[in-house]
Structure 1
Amino acid sequence: MSLRPRAVRTKLGELDCVVVDALPEGAKPDLVVVLSHGFGASGTDLVGLAPELMNASPRLAEAVRFVFPEAPLSLENLGMPQGRAWFALPQAVLMGQQRDWEQFSREVPPGMPAARRALMSTVAALQQPFGRIVLGGFSQGAMMSTDVALRLEECPAGLCLLSGALVAEDEWKPRARARPALPVFQGHGRQDAVLPFQEGERLRDLLTGVGMPVEFLPFDGGHTILTEELEQLAAFLVKRLDGR
């Protein structure tokens, strides 16, 4: 199938975004998928996933709009002129030093509340019912997507977590308990040296522990996104499209 998706740069709420779809001109999407990039990536880092997902499941091309927000913080001061972040990371983490993951899973990262407000403003600007929005992202973007999905006034259609991890456990757990029907797709590499595999498992266990249906895909690989993962994600999105 030869797709010709359009990519448009626009501001939605507080954030600059790239919006990608292959819908007929003027058509409204049945589902909007918001995918947030990870720490240090450019705002366009995940944009290439849209055509890949559409090719994996052509039904997505017929009915889905993809939105890729750019995180609010510039990392130019760290020598990464194109790099963006949702919230700052401690120097020890940037240096790749061992950290206390138990503590990491409990703490609310400084800067997360401000990033949450920005991402929520983007979701509000979509003018789409929450029940027809899927939130997701990679790494730090997965953390932000989880945080927002658990706080929206109504349950979104789904949550896609690519190499994410648990943070803000005391805040997330009661909110997750109130949202047991939220479908989740989660992929994580067993050799992930950035966010270790057990941190993905820790997040999965919190979500399944409150009754959420989680499709968990462990794979042999590092802090990355695999084709196999995208194929399963595309199938997950088709189910959300069908309201299943």
Structure 2
Amino acid sequence: MSGWAAKTEKVGQLDCRVIEYRDQAKIAVILCHGYGAPGEDLVSLAEVFIDYLGDSAADFRFIFPAAPLQPPEIAVYGGRAWWEINMAALLAASQASAFSQLHDKSPPGIETATEMLVSTISQSLDDLGGSGRYVLGGFSQGAMLTMHTSLLSDVPPPELLVQFSGTLVCQSTWQTQLGAGRLRQTDVVQSHGRQDPILPFSSAQTLFGLIENACKSAKFLPFNGPHTIPMEALSEVAVRLKAIAS
């Protein structure tokens, strides 16, 4: 990655890992990690995208925010959280096929996390000259956060919204915003494992059912596997990034 620089800096209210090529970027790509992961968990994805994009990669600034919370049960191994989760209760609901009961719940702390992420988005856009062009996405809890932010914040929605192994929460609120056309100019890529033991595949299908006709385009990438990000999904996002840069 000759010519590329990686640095850690505060962007808005969040500490971020930022990767860019000689200050040439025009478009921000902001990706949020999942619950229990360290702040740099998704940073390696930048290299995947840079390798695929070739010369077009210089158009992008890759920004990886670290979640602000470090609950004791996950902090011991460097884990962070956007909001606290009772994992025992979540897994019990998943195993009992009762996860749908959580679809309309608003997780305590999601609004605070949204405000912090909005500050990062706003600062990122200002740093790029106020172009307003950005891609937003995340994995697991980070996917939920970025969906919520895209639907309910004061910043414009992203050109591309990426949902790696996310799920449906805040259903009534999200459905209202989708119905109002909040994502009508946004492309959405969603992936989810059929054997996901944490966030059920059926809930991902329910989420896609809400968004597929409420955005510019929507693509759902199911895969045989657990709670992870498959190469197929990364390839699809890379293709979309190349189209945005062209």
Structure-1-length-normalised TM-score: 0.90
Report what 2:9 is aligned to: 10
Report what 1:155 is aligned to: 157
- Letter matched to residue 154 of structure 1: P
Distance 1:77 1:194, change over 3 A: closer
Report what 1:140 is aligned to: 141
Report what 1:171 is aligned to: 173
- Letter matched to residue 164 of structure 2: L
Report what 1:217 is aligned to: 221
Report what 2:70 is aligned to: 74
- Letter matched to residue 228 of structure 1: E
Q: Is the 8 A contact 1:130 1:154 kept in 2?
A: no
Distance 1:182 1:79, change over 3 A: closer
Please state if 1:226 is matched with 2:222: no
Q: C-alpha displacement at 1:130, in angstroms? A: 6.9
| Structure-1 separation of matches of 2:122 and 2:194 | 35
Distance 1:82 1:146, change over 3 A: same
Structure 2 residues without counterparts, runs of 5 or longer: none
Structure-2-length-normalised TM-score: 0.89
Report what 1:57 is aligned to: 53
Please state if 1:83 is matched with 2:73: no
- Alignment length, in residue pairs? 237
Alignment of 1:112-127 (within 5 A): 112-126=110-124, 127=126
Q: C-alpha displacement at 1:30, in angstroms? A: 2.1
Q: C-alpha displacement at 1:77, in angstroms? A: 4.0
The DSSP-based 3-state class of the residue aligned with 1:155 is: coil
Q: Is the 8 A contact 1:130 1:155 kept in 2?
A: no
- Letter matched to residue 11 of structure 1: K
Q: Is the 8 A contact 1:166 1:200 kept in 2?
A: yes
The DSSP-based 3-state class of the residue aligned with 2:237 is: helix
Q: C-alpha displacement at 1:183, in angstroms? A: 0.7
Report what 1:102 is aligned to: 100
- Letter matched to residue 173 of structure 1: Q
The DSSP-based 3-state class of the residue aligned with 2:48 is: helix
| Structure-2 separation of matches of 1:5 and 1:69 | 18
| Structure-2 separation of matches of 1:140 and 1:60 | 29
| Structure-2 separation of matches of 1:131 and 1:208 | 24
The DSSP-based 3-state class of the residue aligned with 1:229 is: helix
The DSSP-based 3-state class of the residue aligned with 1:240 is: helix
Please state if 1:201 is matched with 2:205: yes
Q: C-alpha displacement at 1:222, in angstroms? A: 0.8
Q: CA RMSD in A?
A: 1.8
Report what 2:30 is aligned to: 34
Alignment of 1:38-49 (within 5 A): 38-49=34-45
Q: Is the 8 A contact 2:212 2:219 kept in 1?
A: no
| Structure-1 separation of matches of 2:69 and 2:26 | 31
Distance 1:79 1:9, change over 3 A: closer
Identity value in percent: 36
